[in-house]
């Protein structure tokens, strides 16, 4: 759509990889472009503020001929007598109104109104975490690597988003979040200050945005579609913000859904309800095939993060084998397909690592194309 080029010309930051700090102090460091040979549309990720990204995408939609209605909230979905979605009910300043259409895409986030009204939403019991996200200026030592710092009482992600601004996303267990007492800024500052490895880096930093809370996370739709509607992005699935999945899954999910939606709408226009349902079932299958491997990796990482001793062991092992560390970071950054990390050979090497970089032919596939990286903050 031209969005990527616009973002690269504007205020953004290149991200070349990730470094993960375990509670023990052990470190996993990986680069997106490495000996594994996988490449995306670009050789680096992109740190972008959400207000910039959202504006660019909205302008692209307008340029493509989309009618945009702002300051409106979807309260409900409209169904015909057969239970097929035929539109949405809006609430605007002028009052409620119905908006009819041949198809509805629920791209409305973690607590999707579309998913809930169609009884597709299902909250997971684990992990139950809350995030606080804010921007700071003047954080010391921020470079081209995104950072994850894991402690026993939560974890924090740090990444540049351009123009000297750093995105800081703190994720804590839901029970700990109850101590915020409504003062998210004070809670975030106190949490950063009590961890010595972070405190000195924020000693002279200035918070330049409110600390916004979001969560709890871990939601999964029972199905990613209903007759006349489909879910994409966080509305369909969101597990844990550790791997920064939100934007990639939204963009890739929309791209994936488009041809199936066209088929479903065309079938309905021809009176072929059965073929419309068939197209949406095919979308659900394609979505599982596309994201299932990454979902497995997310759950493995989340389990390790939740148990400090496991996280420490994982970091110690991966710290000894940079090749596997690059694969892991490549998967989390969506440069490398999850299957490359979940192969028996690589899993065995994770348990019995090599202390130096190996012949990359052992674990790689050369120059395989993957999707581009657009990595804004987690919120």
pLDDT digits (tens, 9 = 90+) for 60-102: 999 999 999 999 999 999 999 999 999 999 999 999 999 999 9
Strand ranges, E, within the chain:
13-15, 17-21, 27-31, 45-47, 73-79, 85-92, 95-100, 104-106, 129-137, 145-151, 154-160, 165-173, 206-207, 212-214, 219-220, 225-226, 229-231, 237-238
Report the chain's mean pLDDT, rounded to a whole number: 87
Cβ proximity of 150 and 23 under 8 Å: yes
Distance of CA 19 to the CA centre of its chain: 17
The answer on pLDDT for 356 being more than 70 is no
Residue 310 lies in a domain: no
**Burial zone of 20 (CB within 10 Å; 0-12 exposed, 13-18 middle, 19+ buried):** buried
What are the structure tokens assigned to 269, written together? Answer: 């226009």
Res. 239 pLDDT band, cuts 50 70 90: low
Quote the pTM value.
0.86
Residue 74 lies in a domain: no
Cβ contacts of 72 within 8 Å, gap of 6 or more: 90, 91, 92
d(CA 278, CA 282): 6
The stretch 21-32 carries a mean pLDDT of 94
Residue 237 lies in a domain: no
d(CA 379, CA 171): 11
Q: Tell me what pLDDT residue 83 has.
A: 92
Residue 138 lies in a domain: yes
CATH code assigned at 196? 3.30.9.100
Instruction: Please count the structural domains in the chain.
Output: 1
Residue 192 lies in a domain: yes
The answer on pLDDT for 371 being more than 60 is no
Can you state the angle between helices 322-332 and 308-319, rounded to 10 degrees? 120
Residue 360 lies in a domain: no
Collapse the DSSP code of 63 into the 3-class scheme (helix H, G, I; strand E, B; otherwise coil) and give the result: helix
Distance of CA 92 to the CA centre of its chain: 29
Domain with 166 in it = 129-214
Cβ contacts of 150 within 8 Å, gap of 6 or more: 20, 21, 22, 23, 305, 308, 311
Residue 122 lies in a domain: no
Bridge partners, 19 (sequence order): 29, 147
Residue 23 lies in a domain: no
The answer on pLDDT for 180 being more than 80 is no
Res. 353 pLDDT band, cuts 50 70 90: low
Res. 376 pLDDT band, cuts 50 70 90: very low
DSSP annotation of 371 reads P
Cβ contacts of 82 within 8 Å, gap of 6 or more: 227, 273
């Amino acid at each position: 759509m031209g969005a990527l080029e616009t973002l690269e010309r504007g205020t953004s930051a290149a991200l070349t990889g990730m470094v993960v700090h375990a509670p023990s102090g052990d470190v996993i460091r990986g680069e997106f472009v490495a000996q594994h040979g996988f490449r995306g549309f670009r050789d680096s990720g992109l740190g972008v503020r959400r207000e910039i990204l959202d504006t660019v995408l909205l302008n692209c939609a307008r340029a493509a001929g989309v009618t945009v209605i702002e300051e409106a909230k979807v309260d409900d979905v409209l169904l015909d007598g057969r239970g097929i979605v035929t539109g949405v009910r809006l609430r605007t300043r002028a009052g409620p109104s119905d908006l009819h259409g041949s198809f509805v895409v629920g791209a409305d986030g973690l607590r999707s109104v579309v998913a809930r009204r169609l009884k597709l939403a299902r909250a997971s019991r684990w992990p139950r975490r809350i995030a606080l996200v804010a921007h700071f200026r003047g954080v010391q030592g921020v470079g081209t690597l995104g950072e994850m710092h894991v402690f026993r009482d939560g974890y924090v992600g740090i990444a540049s988003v351009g123009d000297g601004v750093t995105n800081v996303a703190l994720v804590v267990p839901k029970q700990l979040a109850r101590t915020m007492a409504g003062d998210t800024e004070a809670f975030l500052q106190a949490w950063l200050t009590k961890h010595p490895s972070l405190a000195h880096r924020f000693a002279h930093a200035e918070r330049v945005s409110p600390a916004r809370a979001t969560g709890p996370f871990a939601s999964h739709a029972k199905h990613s579609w209903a007759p006349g509607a489909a879910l994409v992005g966080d509305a369909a699935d969101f597990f844990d913000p550790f791997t920064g999945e939100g934007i990639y899954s939204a963009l890739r999910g929309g791209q994936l859904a488009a041809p199936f939606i066209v088929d479903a709408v065309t079938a309905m226009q021809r009176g072929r309800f059965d073929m419309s349902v068939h197209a949406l079932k095919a979308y659900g299958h394609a979505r599982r095939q596309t994201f299932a491997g990454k979902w497995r990796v997310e759950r493995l990482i989340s389990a390790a993060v939740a148990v400090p001793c496991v996280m420490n062991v994982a970091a110690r092992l991966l710290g000894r084998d940079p090749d596997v560390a690059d694969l892991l970071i490549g998967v989390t950054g969506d440069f490398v397909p999850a299957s490359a990390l979940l192969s028996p050979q690589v899993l065995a090497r994770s348990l019995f690592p090599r202390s130096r970089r190996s012949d990359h032919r052992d674990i790689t596939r050369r120059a395989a194309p993957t999707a581009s990286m657009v990595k804004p903050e987690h919120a």
